[in-house]
Amino acid sequence: MIIVFLLDMLLLIALLILGLPIVFCFSAAIFFVNIFVHVNMIGLFVSAFSKITDPMLLTIPLFILSGGLMSESGISDALLDFVDLFIGRIKGALGVVVTVTCGIMGAISGSGMSGVAAVGPILMPRMLKEGYTRGYSAALISCSSLLGLLIPPSVLTIVYGWVTGTSILACFLATIGPGLTIMLLFSIINLISVRKMPLTVQQQPLINFKERWKKILICTCKALPAILVPIIVLGGIYGGIFTPSEAAAVAVIVSLVIGFFVYRVLKMKNFYGVVKESATGTGSIMIQSFVALMLAQILVMNKVPQEIITFLFGLTEHRYLILFIVNMYLFLQGMIVGDVTGTILIAPLLFPLIKELGISPVHFGAILATNLAMGGVTPPFSPTLYLGLRVCKAEFTEVLKPTLKLVIFGYIPVVFITTYWPALSLFLPRLLGYAP
């Protein structure tokens, strides 16, 4: 039996590497299993359909829509000016501005793709003008945009909480520590990397104390509506004012008000475009989730998770070694499967193992999120990196080296710190009473 499922996974991986649409890849894997193992397809259809119609999943299309609205509402310029004002015009400061701004965008949109789409077109010309290479700029923007999958609200953590029955609010808090640590490491890596670049630092004109504070006040007031969005959403959730689904609806309403009446950049033409793009993205996620749920159910019903537990404990009973193997598996899966689809497929398989090891489900949610988020820039799948190439008009060959540097020295260390130092992810959930 286990050989059949191993061959099935190999088939799935091969089809994904070949570049077939994810829905077809998972459908082929389901068909392959059905040849060798009796599967009640009608029961699978009914069960998967009932799960994807869960009201909790309303948060996904609503957060996607709010992220699209905020991306089109002109907040990117306001955020960039705000962050740039406080970091200053030292050599390499613009790279730090990229990382911090993408982190703030993540707290608004809950997606990595929106950070590239919103920040890339604005920052790329500025980085090239200052002397950054095109490849490095595209890599930094793409990698920093992954913070959107870790800084709450995050679609990835919503799906994980839904699949495993873990508190979504606790999962939101659990990824803040890893996200901020990655932001810090990316900033340090940038400041070290730019030392060899012939950057042209633009000197600010000397202004007196009163004029400087006036400028700070103007930039802060301009950026305040954008900064208030995550504060309203997360504050409302953790304050018990509304549920995550209601918070997502509030985020859409606030985004519409800011886009149409505050910044006045959002017009009916690009509003229709955002709604269409959000609907397309939501439909794609739902279809992928449907087939991934069916395959995951087949694996669970045939006790594949138990087989994995038996196999790993047969190799070693050392907790840290098993966690290392789990991280390697998550890393490889992240390279070939998207974050949402990967979560639906992997979480049910590894969740029994995690409980057997006595690891907190909230802690494992942070481990899984940091691994699968990294998959956004690790080929062959790497959707965020490919979007960054298009937005920044860069070639893959010139982006590969700086991307690997950011992943190896910025991302992978955080994955292992998150894994072996639970306090990084559990401090805030425990502090606010959402985790034991």
| pLDDT tens digit sequence for 389-433 | 888 888 888 998 999 999 999 999 999 999 999 999 999 999 888
Residue 369: is its pLDDT beyond 70? yes
Percent of the chain whose pLDDT exceeds 70: 92
Q: Give the DSSP H or E segment for 432.
A: none
Residue 249: is its pLDDT beyond 80? yes
Residue 373: is its pLDDT beyond 80? yes
Mean model confidence pLDDT for the chain: 83
Mean pLDDT across the stretch 173-181?
93
In the structure encoding, which two tokens stand for residue 206, read together?
């000397």
| pLDDT tens digit sequence for 250-299 | 888 888 888 888 888 888 888 888 888 888 878 888 888 888 888 888 88
* Cβ count near 35 (within 10 Å): 9
Q: What pLDDT shows up at residue 342?
A: 83
Q: Which of 15-29, 44-58, 192-206, 278-292 has the lowest mean pLDDT?
A: 192-206
In the structure encoding, which two tokens stand for residue 384, read together?
């965020």
In this prediction the pTM is 0.83
Q: What pLDDT shows up at residue 175?
A: 93
In whole angstroms, what is the distance from residue 255 CA to residue 110 CA? 14
In the structure encoding, which two tokens stand for residue 364, read together?
């494992």
Residue type, 231: I
Q: In whole angstroms, how far apart are CA 420 and each of 214, 320, 323, 364?
A: 46, 8, 8, 11
Q: What pLDDT shows up at residue 413?
A: 95
Q: What pLDDT shows up at residue 38?
A: 77
Q: Model confidence at 88, in pLDDT bands (50, 70, 90)?
A: low
418 in Cβ contact with 178 (< 8 Å):
yes
Residue 119: is its pLDDT beyond 70? yes
375 in Cβ contact with 337 (< 8 Å):
yes
Sequence-distant (≥ 6) Cβ neighbours of residue 21 within 8 angstroms: none
Residue 203: is its pLDDT beyond 60? no
In whole angstroms, what is the distance from residue 106 CA to residue 116 CA? 10
Mean pLDDT across the stretch 330-355?
83
Residue 188: is its pLDDT beyond 60? yes
199 versus 171: the higher-pLDDT residue is 171
